Amino acid sequence: MKNIPKISESEFEIMKLLWKNNPLTSNEIIDVLSEKMGWSHQTIKTFINRLLNKKVIGFEKSGRSYLYYPLFSYDDYVKVENKSFLQRIYDGALGTLFSKFLEEENLSQKEIEKLQKILEEKKETKNKE
């Protein structure tokens, strides 16, 4: 698994934009986030610079603009964050996490069927090992 640095909630807003559509110029990022989040241009530029320094995003120069893009996928980020959360909160015990979640949540029939299918596939894979 890639070593992905911690990303703040604010930095994550920029990453969501870049995962959805990239590359983007700083002005494109600023236009969306200044309206959505109410942040100043300078604040957004600071977050972009932090992400560059963390080597979470990259850029290419295009004329007078810089085009920013993510250096890892959303899926990679989610995997790392899930592992971190599981380790921190449940001491790595995946079964405990699911048990607690399923006890608390009201799931639709469709969601239950999807979970059953995933568990059956996991069970089959384990039996083949």
Q: Report whether 66 contacts 26 (CB < 8 A).
A: yes
Arithmetic mean of pLDDT, 74-86: 86
pLDDT in tens, 11-41: 999 999 999 999 999 999 999 999 999 999 9
Domain boundaries, the chain: 1-92, 95-129
Structurally, at CATH architecture level, domain 1-92 sits in Orthogonal Bundle (1.10)
Contacts of 5 (CB under 8 A, 6+ apart): 54, 55, 56
Confidence of residue 10 (pLDDT cuts 50, 70, 90): very high
Cα separations (Å) of 38 from 10, 31, 49, 59, 81? 12, 10, 19, 25, 27
Q: Is 129 helix (H, G, I), strand (E, B) or coil?
A: coil
Cα 21 to Cα 4: distance, rounded to the nearest angstrom:
20
Confidence of residue 90 (pLDDT cuts 50, 70, 90): confident
Arithmetic mean of pLDDT, 52-73: 96
Arithmetic mean of pLDDT, 46-65: 96
Q: Report whether 48 contacts 57 (CB < 8 A).
A: yes
Arithmetic mean of pLDDT, 83-88: 78
Average pLDDT in the chain:
90
Residue 1 has pLDDT above 60, yes or no: no
